[in-house]
């Protein structure tokens, strides 16, 4: 019986020893784990700091993607599209300007054509605003629109807002003869004269629509030059760049190069643009012949230049 008791007692002692070993191992594991998170956190903090630093650096130096720039421009109105609804109220406020002079045989012939916008001034006068070069050197000029009729312009009373720019302000008068079917002058569309001006310096890529009577819209001009009829045409594009040369002549602002197609005949018409505040009057187109008669490179005289006075 004694050997059996000794065996049980030895087992208890062995179990006690093993239990102690397990306790020591367990405590060692706890100590190791309590130290490891500190190292892990240090490494994690370093990694996080590095990533965060890279992100901050990139956000400061990286050029925004195109869509971000477009969205920003959209909010400021620079990339807003001009719609047909926007310009519809103003289309009949632009008419063709046709000027004639006597030839050597005393016969009056069409000499210059262009476009003009209708303006009603606070003093109660009704005028067309066009380019000065359209009317210069002619004996008579008139306004024409297929759906509205023909009106005369008083060349004896040509005025200007600014003698340094290519523009002329001319009173509209009734032609001699039968005017029974003509719309009264005071009932023509003068809405352009009340449209707000665009800011003095519109951003590049701002939308542009030009309204006028370009040469490429001629009907029957080849077959019957004496009875040339043009259509009102709208062309669209953007502001391509700036012509700062007017400042050399004492004008306050740059004119605009535009991508919208213009041609001889667009001179004196209207160019619209649009920003966050809506449609606005950009200026008066003129043209520079570079390649031929059609689709010439052109500029728009800044509305702040043509209405500028010292």
> Which pTM value belongs to this model?
0.70
Cα-based angle 116, 119, 120 (whole degrees, multiple of 5): 155
Q: How confident is the model at residue 1 (pLDDT cuts 50, 70, 90)?
A: very low
- Between residues 169 and 51, the one the model is more confident about: 169
- Between residues 67 and 226, the one the model is more confident about: 226
**Over residues 205-231, mean pLDDT:** 76
Residue 147 has a pLDDT of 85
Residue 49 has a pLDDT of 28
**Over residues 183-204, mean pLDDT:** 96
Q: For the domain made up of 82-306, give the CATH fold.
A: Thrombin, subunit H (2.40.10)
Residue 265 has pLDDT above 70, yes or no: yes
SS (H, E, C) the chain: CHHHHHHHHHHHHHHHHHHHHHHHHHHHHHHHHHHHHHHHHHHHHHHHHHHHHHHHHHHHHCCCCHHHHHHHHHHHCCCCCCCHHHHHHHHHHEEEEEEEEECCCCCEEEEEEEEEEEEECCCCCEEEEECHHHHCCCCEEEEEECCCEEEEECHHHCECCCCCCCCEEEEEECCCCCCCCCCCHHHCCCHHHHCCECCCCCCCCCEEEEEECCHHHEECCCCCHHHCEECCEEEEEEEEEEECHHHHHCCCCCEEEECCCECCCCCCCEEEEEECCEEEEEEEEEECCCCCCCCECEEEEEHHHHCCCC
Residue 104 has a pLDDT of 85
Residue 187 has pLDDT above 90, yes or no: yes
Q: Tens digits of per-residue pLDDT, 35-93? A: 444 444 444 433 332 222 333 333 332 222 222 222 333 334 455 799 999 999 999 99
List the domain boundaries for the chain: 1-50, 82-306
Residue 296 has pLDDT above 80, yes or no: no
Residue 295's nearest CA partner among 259, 257, 263, 266 is 263
Q: Is the torsion defined by CA of 287, 290, 292, 296 positive or negative? A: negative
- Between residues 148 and 23, the one the model is more confident about: 148
């Amino acid at each position: 019986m004694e050997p059996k008791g000794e065996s049980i007692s030895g087992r208890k002692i062995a179990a006690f020893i093993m239990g102690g070993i397990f306790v020591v191992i367990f405590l060692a594991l706890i100590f190791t784990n309590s130290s490891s998170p500190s190292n892990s956190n240090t490494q994690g903090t370093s990694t996080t700091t590095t990533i965060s630093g890279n992100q901050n650096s990139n956000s400061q130096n990286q050029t925004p993607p195109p869509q971000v720039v477009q969205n920003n421009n959209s909010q400021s109105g620079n990339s807003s599209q001009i719609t047909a609804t926007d310009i519809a109220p103003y289309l009949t406020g632009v008419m063709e300007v046709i000027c004639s002079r006597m030839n050597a045989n005393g016969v009056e012939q069409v000499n210059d054509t262009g476009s003009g916008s209708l303006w009603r001034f606070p003093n109660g006068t009704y005028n067309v605003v066009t380019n000065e070069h359209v009317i210069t050197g002619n004996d008579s000029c008139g306004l024409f629109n297929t759906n509205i009729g023909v009106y005369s312009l008083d060349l004896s009373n040509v005025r200007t807002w600014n003698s340094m720019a290519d523009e002329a302000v001319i009173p509209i008068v009734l032609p001699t003869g039968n005017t029974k079917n003509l719309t009264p002058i005071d009932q023509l569309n003068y809405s352009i004269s009340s449209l707000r001006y665009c800011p003095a310096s519109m951003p590049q890529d701002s939308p542009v629509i030009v309204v006028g009577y370009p040469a490429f819209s001629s009907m029957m001009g080849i077959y019957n030059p004496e009875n040339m009829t043009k259509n009102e045409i709208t062309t669209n594009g953007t502001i391509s760049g700036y012509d700062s040369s007017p400042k050399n002549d004492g004008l306050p602002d740059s004119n605009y190069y535009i991508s919208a197609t213009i041609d001889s005949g667009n001179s004196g018409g209207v160019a619209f643009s649009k920003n966050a505040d809506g449609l606005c009057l950009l200026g008066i187109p003129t043209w520079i012949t570079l390649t031929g008669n059609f689709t010439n490179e052109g500029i728009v005289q800044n509305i702040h230049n043509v209405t500028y006075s010292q």
